[in-house]
Chain A
Amino acid sequence: MSSPQTAAQVIDQYFLEHRAKALDLAAFLDRIERASDGAPVAGSHDIRVRALLRAIDLLRDGKPERARRLLELWSDQTTEPIAKAPMKGAIGAAPLPGAAPLSGAASLP
């Protein structure tokens, strides 16, 4: 089953929605830098911010299946069960080498 739409139809239908999402992302990064203790996001040690910046690179690499590869980029790639669950929630990005520990996690059903 393939897409029944042409590329132009896809763009016509969804461009404004995704323009808004791109603007939201830009404003979010600006907001972090404007915060009372803000600093350039390019040097952030927060793994969530670093995950978003790596995602932007991935979106521009010209390769297909961006959504799948993005989710894999943000996934824990280990294979063995952990000794004990440290919390119930999740943060949305796998820890990166050298990243600072993170305490905030979304509590999800």
Chain B
Amino acid sequence: MYIDPHIHMVSRTTDDYQRMALAGCVAITEPAFWAGYDRSSAQGFVDYFGLLTDTEPRRAAQFGIKHHTWLCINPKESEDIGLAREVLAEIPAFLDRPNVLGIGEIGLNKNSRNELVVLDEHIALAKKHNLLILVHTPHLEDKLKGTRLIMDAIISQGVDPGRVLIDHVEEHTVRLVLDRGFWAGMTLYPDTKCTPQRAADIFEMHGTDRMWINSAADWGVSDPLAVPKCRDEMRRRGHLDAVIRKVSFDNPRAFLSQSGRFAIS
């Protein structure tokens, strides 16, 4: 039994839900993200939020998987501040939907000034409504700088880091995130983030407190079964079942339960 706390099922097939259920997935959370193309209006996001709060929960339920979500305009579409503010204005109307856990995945992409402005406004929205935050950290060469800027922005608004998960950490950012009191997520990607092997290494080096693993499976090179593959990697190394359960079930449940809305069944 496991939770995949970050996956973009809008980009996945129903067969993936079926395979995840067979592998033991009981719950997922789906952050709003970049669809691979820029939406031309705020209405496009309204439609997307409808999918995240209505369509996907029903599709997941067919396979006994509980679906939760996070809302935002992602940093890749934040360079246009006017559009971003129109989308931000639409979000409060969805916050009462029962599967909404918080604001996410917000953060930075290329670490630009406009991205930071929109990030600040998302943080303020989360703080105003006392919502959890799920953070996307930038890709590749931009990750280290972006992770530092994001944490500074969150701390500067007085948000409790224990209610924020900084996702996509790797070897060079995990300690920075944990040392400042945030939760840390490791995304299991074949090429551009952590492999299951490296994630297991990071647990061995930095422990398992305030950490989770996720597939972040989407329209790119990714694997919706990455979490059970990491569990298997840890098992092959000889890690105890309780440790494996902690990083793939207990920890995500503990963080997400702070929302007051997360439920397994």
Contacts and interface: CB of A to CB of B under 8 A. Distances in A.
A49 to B, nearest CB: 15
Contacts, number: 110
Q: Which residue among B145, B197, B201, B207 has the maximum number of chain A CB atoms within 10 Å of its CB?
A: B145
Interface size bucket, B side? 35 or more
A67 B201 contact: yes
Interface string B135-178: 00011111111001100000000000000000000111000000
Contacts of B203: 1
Contact of A1 (B110, B140, B204): B204
Interface string A31-52: 0000000000000000000000
Contacts of B243: 1
A68 B171 CA distance: 5
A14 B144 CA distance: 28
Nearest to A72: B172
A85 B114 contact: yes
Given A4-B239, A109-B218, A75 B110 contact: no
Contact of B208 (A1, A92, A107): A1
B128 interface: no
A76 interface: yes
B36 A109 contact: yes
Given A2-B204, A5-B237, A109-B34, A83 B144 contact: no
- Nearest 10 pairs of A and B residues by beta carbon: A85-B110, A4-B238, A71-B172, A75-B144, A90-B139, A68-B171, A90-B140, A67-B171, A85-B112, A109-B218
Interface of A: 1-5, 13-14, 65, 67-69, 71-72, 74-79, 81-94, 106-109
23 contacts: A1-B204, A1-B243, A67-B198, A69-B172, A71-B144, A71-B172, A74-B140, A75-B142, A76-B144, A83-B113, A84-B79, A84-B114, A85-B114, A88-B109, A88-B110, A89-B139, A90-B138, A90-B139, A91-B140, A91-B141, A108-B140, A109-B34, A109-B220
Interface of B: 8, 11, 33-34, 36, 76, 79, 109-116, 138-145, 148-149, 170-172, 192, 197-198, 201, 203-204, 207-208, 216, 218-220, 222, 236-239, 243
